[in-house]
């Protein structure tokens, strides 16, 4: 019973969790490069405020390959403003000149170029008849270290085969893989084969960028069928598919890390059905939380004789100190209640929590390790009816404890991650370890795994069933 009570306190703590640098130069731009595909460029001014932003593309003949949104007049003279830039070429040395007019009338320009140019290949596959499958080797190489996250093909009849599947680091050695095409109709087909390369600078939820070679194949009808009419497919309007990033990077599994989602981002979610969580990013540096554990319907009717509930409110503020390294601090207030049916005039147990904490995180949205630590100030108020001498009485006492959580996640594929946490708390006699698999899209993340509570501390007994399933769903909008 003692361990069970401690685990309830730890669960409440987890629910409560869930539920800048000034620059000396007039303005800076992050990221410092433009990547093929979608980009969010954040322009920051130390103190002057931004009135207007204009852009120029060089060389000018490459202007059709780049689109810029968010430029023009900026209302309110903010110190920070985002530009959205879409770059549709990876093999051209394109640069964007950003001209900023400040609210004191001064101006300054900054030149932002493509991160690197790639050599794009058109790879022919052998001619095939309808019903056959053709495969050929594709390759990608880089002289400097580069990370290949994944390979996708925007064609229903084509697929990839790997000896060593990505993610994989490139540098000095070509990476080779096969592309196969299943021929079902006559024609001349051109299709993009997209290698998703990891970005050095993550911004706006974009952690990699597309580099597309082109596969070409001619499919002929079987002898005796109609004559092949070769009709080229126009791919001039093709745009790479949008990259998918885990929308819940503000946590490892259940405990918050040092990452703050973009301003205006909100989320709602559930842990093991009964644990609820919600949050809203008030600014790019401040996230508000709410959480709780809702009593079950049989608790409402008193069928089990007990009613348990919990709730919490809090927030965390954070910033990126330098590349890939974030820090944050937060505070949560929470309360849990246990009310038994046979004591109708008394609440049997009420635990009140004040939880200040700090967190550090290192990594990108594809792989990150975080350490969160703090102190839980717990006030217990318990109605005691089991004393053999004294009449029923209320006992109030403090049970404060320090805690620390080591967590992290790692991306395995386009929609998949693994994540884990190890939790220590001074007043709890077990060391829970959580491991989950995560499936995510742009709008939600689904975790499923187990919590292992079989590591006992301070000579305590291990719970008879040390494995507890965990499932969570978080929706982001």
**How many whole angstroms separate alpha carbon 230 and alpha carbon 189?**
9
- The token pair that represents 48 in the structure block: 């002057």
Q: Which residues pair with 191 in a beta bridge?
A: 215
Instruction: Tell me which residue of 360, 351, 309, 308 sits closest to 333, measured CA to CA.
Output: 351
pLDDT at position 174: 86
pLDDT of residue 241: 62
**Per-position pLDDT tens, the chain of length 477:** 344 445 444 554 544 444 433 334 578 999 999 999 999 999 998 778 899 999 999 999 999 999 999 999 998 899 999 999 999 999 999 999 999 999 988 999 999 999 999 999 999 999 999 999 999 999 998 888 899 999 999 888 999 999 889 999 887 778 999 999 999 999 999 999 999 999 999 998 899 999 999 999 999 998 765 554 555 555 555 555 667 889 999 999 999 999 999 999 999 999 887 789 999 999 999 999 999 887 765 555 544 567 778 899 999 999 999 889 999 999 999 998 887 776 777 787 889 999 999 999 999 988 999 999 999 999 988 887 766 666 777 888 898 999 999 999 999 888 999 999 999 998 888 899 999 999 999 899 999 999 998 898 877 888 888 899 999 999 999
DSSP H stretches of helix in 241-342 = 297-300
Query: Given this model, what pLDDT does residue 21 score?
Result: 33
Q: How far is CA 378 from the centre of its chain?
A: 32
- Give me the pLDDT at residue 304, please: 56
DSSP letter string over 155-190?
Answer: -TTEEEE-SSPSSEEESSS-EEEEEEEE--S-EEEE
| Predicted local confidence at residue 150, as pLDDT | 94
pLDDT (0 to 100) of residue 300: 53
Give the Å distances, CA to CA, from 126 to 83, 154, 213, 215, 369.
44, 20, 17, 11, 46
pTM: predicted TM-score of the whole model, two decimal places: 0.54
pLDDT of residue 239: 57
State the Cα torsion 224-225-226-227 to the nearest 10°: -50
The reported pLDDT for the residue numbered 1 is: 39
Distance of CA 318 to the CA centre of its chain: 16
Contacts of 411 (CB under 8 A, 6+ apart): 149, 167, 246, 366, 367, 417
């Amino acid at each position: 019973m003692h361990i069970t009570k401690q685990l309830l306190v730890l669960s409440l703590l987890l629910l409560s969790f869930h539920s800048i640098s000034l620059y000396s130069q007039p303005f800076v731009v992050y990221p410092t490069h433009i990547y093929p595909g979608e980009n969010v460029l954040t322009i920051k001014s130390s103190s002057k405020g931004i009135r207007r932003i204009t852009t120029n593309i060089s060389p000018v003949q490459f202007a059709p390959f780049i689109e810029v949104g968010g430029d023009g007049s900026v209302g309110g003279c903010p110190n920070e403003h985002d530009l959205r830039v879409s770059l549709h070429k990876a093999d051209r040395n394109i640069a964007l000149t950003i001209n900023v007019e400040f609210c004191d009338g001064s101006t300054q320009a900054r030149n932002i170029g493509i991160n690197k140019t790639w050599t794009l290949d058109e790879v022919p596959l052998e001619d095939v008849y309808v019903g056959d499958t053709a495969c050929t080797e594709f390759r990608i190489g880089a002289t400097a270290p580069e990370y290949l996250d994944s390979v996708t093909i925007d064609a229903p009849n084509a697929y990839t085969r790997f000896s060593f599947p990505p993610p994989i680091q490139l540098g000095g050695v070509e990476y080779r893989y096969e592309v196969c095409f299943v021929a079902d109709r006559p024609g001349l087909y051109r299709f993009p084969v997209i290698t998703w390369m990891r970005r050095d600078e993550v911004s706006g939820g974009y952690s990699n960028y597309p580099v597309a070679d082109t596969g070409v194949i001619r499919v002929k009808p079987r002898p005796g069928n109609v004559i092949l009419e070769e009709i080229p497919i126009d791919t001039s309007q093709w745009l790479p598919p949008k990259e998918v990033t885990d929308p819940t990077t503000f946590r490892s599994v259940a405990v918050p890390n040092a990452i703050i989602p973009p301003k205006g981002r909100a989320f709602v979610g559930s842990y093991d059905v009964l644990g609820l969580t919600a949050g809203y990013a008030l600014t790019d540096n401040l996230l508000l939380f709410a959480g709780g554990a809702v009593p079950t319907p049989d608790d409402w009717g008193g069928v089990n004789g007990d009613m348990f509930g919990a709730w919490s409110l809090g927030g965390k503020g954070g910033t990126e100190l330098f590349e890939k390294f974030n820090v944050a601090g937060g505070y949560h207030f929470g309360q849990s209640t246990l009310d038994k049916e046979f004591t109708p005039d008394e609440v049997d147990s009420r635990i009140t929590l004040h939880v200040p904490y700090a967190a550090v995180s290192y990594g990108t949205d594809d792989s990150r390790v975080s350490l969160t630590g703090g102190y839980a100030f717990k006030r217990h108020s318990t109605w005691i009816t089991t004393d053999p001498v004294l009449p029923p009485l209320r006992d109030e006492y403090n049970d404060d404890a320090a805690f620390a959580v080591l967590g992290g996640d790692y991306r395995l594929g386009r929609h998949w991650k693994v994540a884990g946490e190890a939790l220590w708390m001074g007043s709890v006699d077990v060391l829970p370890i959580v491991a989950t698999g995560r499936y995510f899209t742009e709008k939600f993340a689904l975790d499923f795994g187990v919590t292992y509570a079989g590591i006992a501390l301070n000579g305590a007994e291990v719970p008879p069933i040390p494995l507890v399933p965990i499932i969570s769903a978080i929706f982001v909008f």
